Structure 1
C-alpha cells in the first residue's frame, strides 16, 4: 500500500481531439454561413502527401480515419470537404481557450497540440465539487462548438492518459494504477517504435507493463518512458508549468445574469478594488501592478492592466486609475452579450513603507507627483512617461538614459547631474537629435568651424562660434565612426544657435595638389533655445 498525502494536487486534464476542424466550423458559424452538411476534414502535408490531420463526426461515419491519405479518403467518401491545416491558428485558439479557463483557476498549463492541464487544488469547493466542476467546463466548451474529453487525477500525466481513452473519469488519490491498468499502452503517448516493441513483447496494456521490472523497461525503452509510466501509475509527481505567473492577490465576482452596462461594470470594479485592498492590508502590502479581467459569455476574455509608481493601498486610487485606462482605450471595452465574471488581481505587490506624512511636505510632493505620473501612464502607457538618469560617459547621445518614470522616480530625484556654472551659456543644447544629421560645409577654415553650411536645404552663415570641445569616442566599440569629435557652438545671421561637430581629425597630408583641403564629415547634433 502506498501512503497517500492529504494535500496532493488535483489536475483536470482537457483534451480537444478535433480542435482544428472545430475551429473552422466556429469560423463558419460566426460568418453566418449555413452549416456544411458534407463531411469535413483538415489535411496537412507530410512527405509530399496530404494526410488527414483532423476530421468531424460525419467523416468518421463515412469511414475516414486520422493519418489516412486524402486520396484514399476521397475514394471512400467522394463528397469530402478538405481544409488546409493552420497550426498557428490552432495554437492561438488553444491559447484563447486557456484564457477562458482562467475563470476556474489561475494555474492553467498548455498541453500541446490540443490539450490543457488545470491545477484545481483547493478551488473545487467553489464549484460544488470535482464532478460538477468538470461537468461545467465540458458543457461550456461543448456549447461553444468544441469536442472535449476530460479526466481528473493527482497528476497531469495520469489524467492525460485517461482522457485519451475515456471521458469524465475522476480518479481518487491512490487509485491511479488501477485506473490506467486496463488502458492500451498507446495511451501513454510513447513513440510508435515503443508501442510496437511493447506489443511484440506481449505487453498490450499499461497493467501488463507495470508488472515488469522498472530496470528491464528502462534498459529496453529508455528512462523517459519509464518516468512517464511511473507518473501515470501515480508513483511519481508530474508538475505542470502554468502559462501565467499566479498573482499575489486575486478577487473575483460572478454574476447570476450577464452584465453589460457601464454603471454596473464600474460599480463591480469598485467593489472588487475594496476587497483587494482589504486583503492586501492584512499583510501590510500595496499593489504595484493591477490587472482587471473581464470574462464574456461567449468565451472572450479582455485583460486591462495598470502600473503604479508606489504601492497602492486605497480603493479610490485603483478605481480612478482603471477609469482613466478604460476611457483612453483605443479599442473600447465591448461587453458583447455581457460579462458573467470579473476578476481583479495584484500581479505584483510590495510592502508598504510607513512614512511621516503630516509634517514632511517633501513626502506629500512625491505622492502627488507619483499619482500624476500614474494617471498619465494609465492613459498613454507607462513606457511613454519617462525620466532621464545620468550615465557616466562623454558621448553626448548616451549621457542620459530614458527609463519608465513609474519605476525610476526615486532614482531620478536623487540623480547627480553635472552642475552648470552660473552666468555661462549652456554647454549642451536643449534639443538633442536622436541621430546626428549630416550637413554640407560650403566655406570655413580647415581646423575651425564652418563659415557657411547647408542643413535641410537651407543655407546658414555663421557669425559667432565657440569651440572646439573635443570628445573622445569609445575606441573599444568599432562601429565605423571616428575616434574623436570636435564640437562647436555656432550662431547664424538670424540668431539661430546650433551644435555642430566634425567627425574625426583634419589631416593636412590628405590635401590634394590644388590646395583645396579635404574636410572630415560634419554633422548637426542639436539646437539651442
Structure 2
C-alpha cells in the first residue's frame, strides 16, 4: 500500500464577483486566477468557461472597506500618517519614522512579515514621492527607490501606473505612448494640448517636481508616547499602569509648551493585529499622570467587556489630541483652586464613564430668537465658555434672562387667542384643547428678525408674559403685525415660567 501523501491539497483559483451593470463580474482575484489570464472586470460566465473549478464568493464592499480600515489602524504602529489609497491600498508617510525600525529595508521586511503572517498577500514599495511608491507597488516596480533612481524606476512601468483615467490611458496608447518611458521622451506642449494637463501633472508628481500631500485618516497628535513590550500584557491593570507611566513621560513635554491636555487617546495594539482606541476628555487642561490614569480607569470600567486581551497586547501608545494653555495656581488661591479641581475631577469622571454629553449646560448664543439663543453643550465646553465671560457680563445676562422662562418647548406650538383689542394682550387662549382665561398679562416685548440670517419678509414677534386664572404662567408671542402685510397674525406658545 503506497504511503499517504502529506502535501497540502491544491487550492482552486479564487475570485470575488459582484453585480456591475446588470452582469456578474470579477471584482478581485488571487494570483492563481491571475495566472490563468483572468482579470478584474471580466464577466463571471467567461471566467468559468476558462476555469471550470473556479472558486467564487460574492463581493462585499462594506466588509472589504472595514477590513482595510482595520489594517490602517494596525499600521499606526509605524507612523501616525496613514491614508487610504483606493479600495485596496494604504499610503504611509514614514518620513522621520524609518530609523525607529532600523531603516527602510528592515521596516519593509517587518511589515511584509507581519501581514503575511496574518494571511495577506501584500506588495510594498518605498519611494521619495507617493505617486512613485504607488506605481511601483501596484505595477511591479522596485521595492525601494532612491531619489536618484526615480526616472529609471518609473520608465518601464505602464502609463496606467500614473493614476490616469482609463479613457486617457487608451487615448495615449493609440498614439504609441504605452509606457512611462514613452511619456518621458515625448514633448510636453503637444501632450498637454491633446490630452490635457493630467498626464504631465501625474508624471511631475511621481518625479517630485510637483507636490502631492497625503491626507491621513486621522489628525496628527500634538504629543505622543509609546511602549513596545517584549512580552505581551494581558490585564486591564497592566494597561492602566502603562498609561500612567506614559502620561508621566508626557508631563515634561506639556510643561515645556506651557500647556495641559484636554483630549487624550490611548491606543492598545493586540498581538493578532486588532487595535483598540480609547478617548477621554478633561474639562480643564490636565498634566497630572494620576488623574489621567484615573480617567482611563473610569472609561475602561465601561468598556471592560469590549477590551478583549486575546493573546495579549504588544504595544501601548498615549496621544495628546488637544491641549490648551495651563495656568499654575497661586498659593493665595489654594482653597479656591482645590474646590475647582474637585469639580473638574467630578465632571471628568462622569464624562469618562457616561460620555461627554451626560452633563450639559446651556450656553448663550448671539441670536434674537429664543429657540436659537441657547445651545446645550457638554459641560466641559460650556464651563470654558462661561470662564471667558467677565463676572459683570454674567450678572447682566442673568438679570435679562430672569424675564425669560426657564423651560422652552422644543418648537413653538400654535394657539387660538381672543383679545380685547387687535394689537393688545390675550384675554383668553386655547392650547392643546384646553381653554384658559388670562388673569394678568405683561408686554409686549418686540423681537425683530435677524437680517443677517432670516429672510427680509420674516415677521417680527411681540412676546407676552401671561398668567391664567389657575396661577399658571406662560410665554406667548404674536407673529406678525396687524398694520403690516398680515391681516391676522398667528399666536404661539413658546415656554413656561416657574
TM-score by length of 1: 0.78
Name the SS of the counterpart of 1:42 in structure 2.
strand
- Which residue of 2 is the match for residue 295 of structure 1? 269
Is 1:435 aligned to 2:415, yes or no? Answer: no
Q: In the alignment, which of 126, 131, 138 is matched to residue 112 of structure 2?
A: 138
Q: Is the 8 A contact 1:394 1:471 kept in 2?
A: no
Is 1:53 aligned to 2:53, yes or no? Answer: no
Distance in 1 between the 2:363 and 2:375 partners?
A: 5
Name the SS of the counterpart of 1:169 in structure 2.
coil
Q: How is 1:12-161 mapped onto 2 (pairs within 5 angstroms)?
A: 38-60=12-34, 62-161=36-135
Quote how far apart the aligned CAs of 1:276 are.
1.7
Distance in 1 between the 2:171 and 2:396 partners?
A: 79
Q: How is 1:106-505 mapped onto 2 (pairs within 5 angstroms)?
A: 106-166=80-140, 169-196=143-170, 205-215=179-189, 217-219=191-193, 221-233=195-207, 237-329=211-303, 332-359=306-333, 361-391=335-365, 394-413=368-387, 414=389, 416-417=393-394, 419=396, 427-439=403-415, 445=420, 447-451=424-428, 453-455=430-432, 464-474=439-449, 476=451, 477-478=454-455, 483-493=460-470, 495-504=471-480
Question: In 2 relative to 1, CA 484–241 (structure 1 residues): closer, same or farther, beyond 3 Å?
Answer: closer
Quote how far apart the aligned CAs of 1:337 are.
3.3
Distance in 2 between the 1:313 and 1:421 partners?
A: 34
Q: Is the 8 A contact 2:136 2:142 kept in 1?
A: no
Query: Once the two structures are superposed, what CA deviation does each residue of 1:369-388 show, in whole Å capped at 9, x if it has no partner?
Result: 33433333323333453333
Distance in 2 between the 1:187 and 1:392 partners?
A: 53
Quote how far apart the aligned CAs of 1:45 are.
4.3
Distance in 2 between the 1:364 and 1:343 partners?
A: 30
Q: Is the 8 A contact 1:295 1:341 kept in 2?
A: yes
Name the SS of the counterpart of 1:153 in structure 2.
coil
Is 1:525 aligned to 2:494, yes or no? Answer: yes
Question: In 2 relative to 1, CA 363–489 (structure 1 residues): closer, same or farther, beyond 3 Å?
Answer: farther
Question: In 2 relative to 1, CA 76–481 (structure 1 residues): closer, same or farther, beyond 3 Å?
Answer: same
Quote how far apart the aligned CAs of 1:427 are.
2.9
Query: Once the two structures are superposed, what CA deviation does each residue of 1:103-155 show, in whole Å capped at 9, x if it has no partner?
Result: 11001122113221111122222222222211221222223332210011111
Quote how far apart the aligned CAs of 1:62 are.
4.9
Q: Is the 8 A contact 1:490 1:500 kept in 2?
A: no
* Unmatched segments (≥5 aa) in structure 2: 1-8
Name the SS of the counterpart of 1:337 in structure 2.
coil
Q: Is the 8 A contact 1:473 1:484 kept in 2?
A: yes
Q: Is the 8 A contact 1:395 1:471 kept in 2?
A: no
Query: Once the two structures are superposed, what CA deviation does each residue of 1:251-292 show, in whole Å capped at 9, x if it has no partner?
Result: 111222332311111111111111122332233332122111
Question: In 2 relative to 1, CA 229–49 (structure 1 residues): closer, same or farther, beyond 3 Å?
Answer: same
Distance in 1 between the 2:330 and 2:138 partners?
A: 62
Distance in 2 between the 1:185 and 1:366 partners?
A: 64
Distance in 1 between the 2:431 and 2:22 partners?
A: 62
Distance in 2 between the 1:497 and 1:155 partners?
A: 69
Distance in 1 between the 2:71 and 2:398 partners?
A: 63
Name the SS of the counterpart of 1:166 in structure 2.
coil
* Unmatched segments (≥5 aa) in structure 1: 1-34, 511-517
Q: Is the 8 A contact 2:141 2:154 kept in 1?
A: no
Question: In 2 relative to 1, CA 410–192 (structure 1 residues): closer, same or farther, beyond 3 Å?
Answer: closer
Distance in 2 between the 1:390 and 1:227 partners?
A: 50
Query: Once the two structures are superposed, what CA deviation does each residue of 1:380-431 show, in whole Å capped at 9, x if it has no partner?
Result: 3334533334445554334434344323424424362575999x99533332
Of 303-312 and 244-253, more deviation after overlay is shown by 303-312
Of 473-482 and 379-388, more deviation after overlay is shown by 473-482
Q: Is the 8 A contact 2:265 2:318 kept in 1?
A: yes
Of 80-89 and 94-103, more deviation after overlay is shown by 80-89
Distance in 2 between the 1:506 and 1:159 partners?
A: 72
Distance in 2 between the 1:479 and 1:378 partners?
A: 46
TM-score by length of 2: 0.82
Question: In 2 relative to 1, CA 124–491 (structure 1 residues): closer, same or farther, beyond 3 Å?
Answer: same
Which of 1 and 2 has higher RCO (CA within 8 Å, sep 6+)?
A: 1
Query: Once the two structures are superposed, what CA deviation does each residue of 1:471-519 show, in whole Å capped at 9, x if it has no partner?
Result: 33417535997533342321443x4433344555679xx9xxxxxxx98
Q: Is the 8 A contact 2:135 2:141 kept in 1?
A: no
Question: In 2 relative to 1, CA 484–501 (structure 1 residues): closer, same or farther, beyond 3 Å?
Answer: closer
Distance in 2 between the 1:184 and 1:451 partners?
A: 82
- Which residue of 2 is the match for residue 14 of structure 1? none
Of 200-209 and 255-264, more deviation after overlay is shown by 200-209
Question: In 2 relative to 1, CA 419–492 (structure 1 residues): closer, same or farther, beyond 3 Å?
Answer: farther
